[in-house]
Amino acid sequence: MARLVLAGKANCPHYAKAELLADYLQANLPDFRVHKITQHPDKWEEWLQQVCERNGWEHQESPIIWRELLYRGGKGLLLGGMEDFLQYVQRYYGVSTAVSSEEMLDIAEENLQAHTEIEKEEEEFRSLINPLQIWITSASSPTCYQLIPLLASGEVFGLSTEISIHLLDASQFEEVLHGLALEAADLACPLLRSVGEHTEVAEAFVQADVVILLDDVLVNPEVQPLESCIREVGEICQVYAPLIEKNAKSEVRVIASGKTFVNLKAMMMITYGPSIKPENVIAVASSWESAAKAMLARKLNLSAAEVKDVIVWGNISGCNYIDLSHGKAYGYDSGIRGPPDFPHPLLNVISDREWIHSAVLSEQSSLRSRLCHCAGMLPAHAVATALRHWYQGSPPGEAISVGVLTKGQYGIPEGIVFSVPVRFHSGTWEVITELEMNEETREALGRAAHELLQEKLVAMKEIQEMHPYGANNITSDKDLHQEMETLPAGSL
């Protein structure tokens, strides 16, 4: 069986004549098939050139007709233009046609009108499919490599939401970005519309719905003082925040992740981007939360999913506190039995307090060591988890740890990004404020707040040096020192 491909300009009378003859043959011959391709006159030359280059043909007029062998594949056999087609049909099928010039022109005009209407309908249909625009900074990082398939799977934003991913990094990583884009396309994920590569920062975040900040600052006190590291964080945010304000959508959501200064990055984005809604900027604490749950689950011979409500307070990438006082273990085999959803308080089923301190709570804990050496899978999962909760809601009754701009909850000073327990629902979040807090937790929160206020003080000094006349959303040195004086390092 053979198939003819008939292509031409929508307003071409010769294409109209060939089309009439092809339709007649398809209607009267059982083994004759024709596929028609109509191109707008403005696009015809470019399209024809591409087809000829791809197939090694030479043809310069409308229409162009070739023969394809079904079920065999390979390059088609070029027949030529309208006259070549008429001779082919006469020779093989003994069929000829006689169409007047006026009829050919009328059909060509109808073809152009129909083609224009179809293009308009397709454009309207495409406009209805509006993929989420996801921008990822420092996209050459291992975390981004692990994150892309999670975002494209449909589990994060929903199985009916298409996405476009934009990879942003410095020009020296252009080849890495290109390789990432090709590999992401090879995944053939039905919800992944496109993957863009960007090395021009000035063109970043165009129409962004979500911005994921993976930028990290190398911290080595022997080489670089803390003030220099904080200045570097500020410089990054000073570039990103105004661009997000300018290019992104008004409801853009910004997620800060990484191993260093995660809270500070989120706070600086709010500071340098005053029109970015503060509630739309969060810092990801899920790495600590999920790693702690996994470690506790191994201790209890449970799966990590059966450990819930482990809360990460404070400075995510610095002085944080893993709070187990509200944690629950489900499915734990003990003397007290109940239904499958019956929770056991974690501190009731783990009697080894020395293990808890050495493995989870201390500054030299094995949990901290594991997180400092994670390669990218865990941070990627943490970002994907936070986004999934944000877009689809968190599990009912479950606390999720997220760094947000504080408003004085639990006595935490206002105006710093602090990791607290929240609930996600309907695309928003709210801080869980009804939790009881023991003295140990209060002291830990005081230390974390003290550290974050110190970071903020250094960052504000850098801002005021660069902007000596200040800005409405920048806290003064005096206010910060007063906050520091009222907050001893040991307690709230």
**pLDDT one-digit tens code per residue, 53-92:** 988 899 989 999 998 765 555 567 899 998 898 888 888 8
Question: Residue 301: is it exposed, middle or buried by C-beta count within 10 angstroms (0-12/13-18/19+)?
Answer: exposed
pLDDT at 127: 54
Q: Which residues pair with 245 in a beta bridge?
A: none
pLDDT of 33 higher than 50 = yes
Average pLDDT on 201-213 reads 95
| pLDDT of residue 487 exceeding 60 | no
pLDDT greater than 90 at residue 20: no
What number is the average pLDDT over the span 335-360?
A: 79
pLDDT band at 448 (very low <50, low <70, confident <90, very high): very high
Instruction: Return the H-helix or E-strand segment holding 341.
Output: none
Q: 330: which residues sit within 8 A by CB, 6+ positions away?
A: 302, 306, 307, 308, 340, 341, 342, 343, 344
pLDDT of the residue at 176: 95
Q: Are strands 320-323 and 343-345 parallel, antiparallel or unpaired?
A: unpaired
- Work out the average pLDDT over 338-362: 81
End-to-end alpha carbon distance in the chain: 83
Determine the length of the chain.
492
How far apart are the C-alpha atoms of 326 and 410, rounded to whole Å?
A: 15
Tokens of 25: 């043959």
Residue predicted with more confidence, 371 or 393: 393
pLDDT band at residue 133, thresholds of 50, 70 and 90? very high
pLDDT at 369 over 80: no
Dump pLDDT digits (tens) for 220-245: 656 677 788 888 999 999 999 999 99
Task: Give the residue among 192, 206, 181, 116 at the shortest CA–CA distance from 159.
Answer: 192
pLDDT value for 461: 80
Q: Identify the pLDDT of residue 73.
A: 53
pLDDT at 472: 44
DSSP string across 366-404:
HHHHHHHT--SHHHHHHHHHHHHHHHH-PPTT--EEEEE
Higher pLDDT, 428 or 127: 428
pLDDT for residue 420? 96
What pLDDT score does 307 carry? 92
The token duo for 80 is 């030529």
468-469-473 Cα angle (round to 5): 105
Query: What does the pLDDT read at residue 388?
Result: 96
What are the CA-CA distances from residue 79 to residues 1, 14, 65, 69, 428 (Å)? Answer: 17, 15, 6, 13, 61
**455-473 tens-digit pLDDT:** 988 888 866 666 554 444 4
pLDDT computed for residue 474 by the predictor: 45
3-state class of 291 per DSSP? helix
Residue 308: band (very low, low, confident or very high) from pLDDT cuts 50, 70, 90:
very high
Average pLDDT, the chain: 86
Q: Please, how many CA atoms are within 13 Å of residue 242, restricted to the half-sphere of its CB?
A: 7
CA distance 418 to 401: 10
Report which of residues 317 and 209 the model is more confident about: 209
Q: DSSP labels for 234-288?
A: HHHHHHHHHHHHHHS-TT-EEEE-SSS-HHHHHHHHHHH-TTS-GGGEEEE-HHH
Cis-peptide into 413, omega within 30 deg:
no
* 127, burial (CB in 10 Å: exposed 0-12, middle 13-18, buried 19+): exposed
Contacts of 469 (CB under 8 A, 6+ apart): none
Q: What is the dihedral of CA 219, 225, 226, 229, to 10 degrees?
A: -60
- Rounded (5°) CA angle 478-405-273: 80
Q: What is the mean pLDDT of residues 131-136?
A: 96
pLDDT cut 70: percent of the chain above it: 87
In the numeric block, the tokens 């959303």 are attached to: 473
- Per-residue pLDDT of 95-119, as tens digits, reads 877 767 677 777 778 877 877 787 7
The whole model's pTM is what?
A: 0.72
pLDDT at 27 over 70: yes
Q: Measured between alpha carbons, how far is residue 183 from residues 235, 314, 357, 376 in Å?
A: 32, 37, 43, 17
Q: Does 481 score more than 60 pLDDT?
A: no
Per-residue pLDDT at 363: 67
44's CB contacts (< 8 A; 6+ apart) are 8, 9, 62
pLDDT for 332 beyond 90: no
Q: Are strands 2-9 and 64-69 parallel, antiparallel or unpaired?
A: antiparallel
Interior/surface letters 311-347, b for 16+ CB within 10 angstroms, e for the rest: bbbbbbbbbbbbbbbbbbbbbbeeeeeeeeeebbebe
What does 422-490 look like in DSSP terms, one character per residue? EEEETTEEEE-------HHHHHHHHHHHHHHHHHHHHHHHHHHHH-TT--TTS--HHHHHHHHHTS-TT
Residue 243: the pLDDT is 96
What pLDDT digit, counting tens, does each position of 168-196 carry? 999 999 999 999 999 999 999 999 999 99
